[in-house]
């Protein structure tokens, strides 16, 4: 199940997606303007060069380095400056190479191949992962007495969308005021670059807040909760580095 965005965040995401689509379409149109349809175009643009253009459009600036002896393609050694970008696009399902375990980095790109690149790149942009549900197998556990509020309310969880935005959800509860004790810890890749202090819904009229640390500790608190502190995380989001 994918998160339903608020109208404001959905509008912003649509604007960003549209901008990325225009960027990719611009790359395609600029290249298609040159050369015949069945051979290389853009004055001899190669598959390796096209990889860099798509990486730039997708904001892939520093993919993981290739490991010597463990390269994904026989003809793209780890020493090649194109290798990290080619392997990252392969991991994202945008390219599978040219067959036989090769990528053919120096081969010219045809219009048909470019169209395939663009369709797969747009799919990569618009896909988002499913929710990670706190407390389930393989996911972060609740800490310090925090747990789901229950009674049909949203369960604690998080996911990162295709734009690198981490979305939180859930109504969670702890006896007392909470005192900023860690409710659960977000894993690496889902943590902010800076400490975030975020307002959130609390116990009835009681003010609540959330401190999210760079090590992933999520620390809710309520001011003056009479018995229990419950906090709503739905709608909270931030960009992961």
Number of residues written out for the chain: 241
Low-confidence ranges of the chain (pLDDT < 50): 1-12, 14, 18, 29-43
**Greatest C-alpha distance within the chain:** 74
Residue 37's pLDDT is 43
Structure tokens at 224: 């003056």
Q: Would you kindly state where each structural domain of the chain is located, as residue ranges?
A: 7-126, 132-239
Residues 179/209, Cβ–Cβ less than 8 Å: no
Q: Residue 113 and residue 122: Cα distance in Å, rounded?
A: 14
Q: Residue 93 and residue 110: Cα distance in Å, rounded?
A: 19
pLDDT tens, residue by residue, 36-94: 444 444 446 888 988 888 888 777 777 888 999 999 999 999 999 999 999 888 887 88
Look up the CATH architecture of domain 132-239: Sandwich (2.60)
Q: How far is CA 113 from CA 45, 94, 133, 226, in A?
A: 12, 11, 39, 64
Residues 156/169, Cβ–Cβ less than 8 Å: yes
Instruction: Judge if pTM exceeds 0.95.
Output: no
């Amino acid at each position: 199940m994918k998160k339903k965005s608020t109208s404001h965040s959905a509008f912003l995401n649509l604007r960003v997606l549209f901008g990325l689509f225009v960027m990719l379409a611009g790359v395609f149109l600029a290249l298609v303007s040159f050369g015949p349809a069945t051979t290389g175009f853009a004055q001899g643009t190669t598959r390796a060069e096209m990889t860099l253009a798509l990486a730039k459009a997708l904001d892939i600036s520093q993919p993981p380095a290739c490991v010597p002896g463990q390269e994904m393609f026989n003809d793209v050694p780890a020493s090649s400056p194109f290798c990290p970008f080619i392997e990252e696009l392969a991991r994202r399902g945008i390219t599978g190479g040219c067959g036989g375990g090769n990528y053919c980095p120096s081969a010219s790109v045809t219009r048909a191949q470019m169209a395939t690149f663009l369709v797969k790149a747009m799919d990569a942009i618009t896909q988002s992962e499913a929710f990670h549900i706190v407390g389930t197998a393989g996911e972060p556990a609740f800490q310090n007495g925090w747990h789901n509020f229950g009674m049909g309310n949203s369960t604690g969880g998080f996911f990162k969308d295709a734009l690198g935005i981490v979305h939180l959800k859930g109504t969670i509860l702890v006896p007392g005021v909470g005192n900023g004790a860690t409710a659960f810890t977000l894993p690496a890749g889902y943590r902010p670059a800076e400490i975030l202090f975020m307002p959130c819904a609390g116990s009835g009229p009681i003010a609540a807040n959330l401190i999210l640390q760079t090590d992933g500790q999520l620390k809710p608190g309520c001011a003056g909760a009479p018995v229990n502190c419950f906090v709503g995380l739905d709608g909270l989001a931030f960009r992961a580095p």
